Structure 1
Amino acid sequence: MNAHTDPQIITQNGKPLFVVIPWNEYQELIHKQIAPDESDVWFPNEVVKSNVRGDNLIKAWREYFKLTQAELATKAGMKQSALARLESNSASPRKATLIKLAKAMEISVEQLID
């Protein structure tokens, strides 16, 4: 079935709430999505404020998630002292390290890069 079908709009209190579209049209929409780029990376206000104050993004995110250095280091499979060094503004972490930290905090690597 290739015929275009109008979407069904479900409203509540006179405002659109859901749209039901045919499965094939949904699949087309999904496959036409472009890959995320830098403009798709989001930061909570608290992380931005911390970064503006001078904290690097690793520390800003760790504090946003209310993790101690020891907790994040354990989740990322590293030593607390290594994480402390990475949180200094002079550190240049390797991509593999950023990937570990991003996974541990369940964020994207792009969210750890200035």
Structure 2
Amino acid sequence: MTALINYQIINNRFGNPEYVLVPYDKYLQLTSSSKINLTDGVPSEVVDLLFDKQYSPARAWREYLQLTQEECAKKLGITQPAYSQLESSKKPRKATRIKLATALGIHEGQLDLLA
């Protein structure tokens, strides 16, 4: 059952809605800061690539960050073919995830999505 909210709509001079008055506690709920830690969160675009296209976490993040495999390989100090092999792994070792996360500028836990 949905609770009713007491609100009032104020129209402009043309009769179109312009303002809405809501109870102060509801206003505070609507304007409170996000409860999600965006530093360690995962953008919906990355999640879509993981589940809709079945990408590995490494590939999903790379594409989201608009990086090439060559660019990521250089950041890691490895060759592009070695990076391609790393990216195709669905669950790389923890040490590898830490290095990759550092190179991508994200938190290691953001690559550990399919645990």
The alignment's TM-score, normalised by the length of structure 1, stands at: 0.59
In structure 2, what is the Cα distance between the partners aligned to 1:48 and 1:54?
10
Is the CA contact (8 Å cut-off) linking 1:56 and 1:87 kept in structure 2?
A: yes
In structure 2, what is the Cα distance between the partners aligned to 1:47 and 1:92?
16
Q: Which letter does structure 1 place at the counterpart of 2:67?
A: L
**Structure of larger gyration radius:** 2
Stretches (4+) displaced over 6 A: none
Residue identity over aligned pairs, in percent, reads: 45
Q: Does 1:80 align with 2:74?
A: no
1:22-37 aligned within 5 A? none
Residue aligned with 2:84, SS: helix
RMSD of equivalent CA atoms = 2.4
Q: Which letter does structure 2 place at the counterpart of 1:112?
A: L
Tell me the residue number matched to 1:46. 45
Unmatched tracts of structure 1, length 5 or more = 1-14, 17-39
Return the offset for 1:92.
3.9
Q: Does 1:94 align with 2:89?
A: no
Is the CA contact (8 Å cut-off) linking 1:58 and 1:87 kept in structure 2?
A: yes
Q: Which letter does structure 2 place at the counterpart of 1:75?
A: K
Unmatched tracts of structure 2, length 5 or more = 1-26, 29-38
Q: Which letter does structure 2 place at the counterpart of 1:62?
A: R
Q: Which letter does structure 2 place at the counterpart of 1:97?
A: T
How many residues in Structure 1 have an aligned counterpart in Structure 2? Answer: 78
Q: Does 1:106 align with 2:105?
A: yes
Return the offset for 1:77.
1.7
Return the offset for 1:43.
0.7
Q: Which letter does structure 2 place at the counterpart of 1:95?
A: K
Residue aligned with 2:66, SS: coil
Return the offset for 1:41.
3.9
Is the CA contact (8 Å cut-off) linking 1:86 and 1:92 kept in structure 2?
A: no
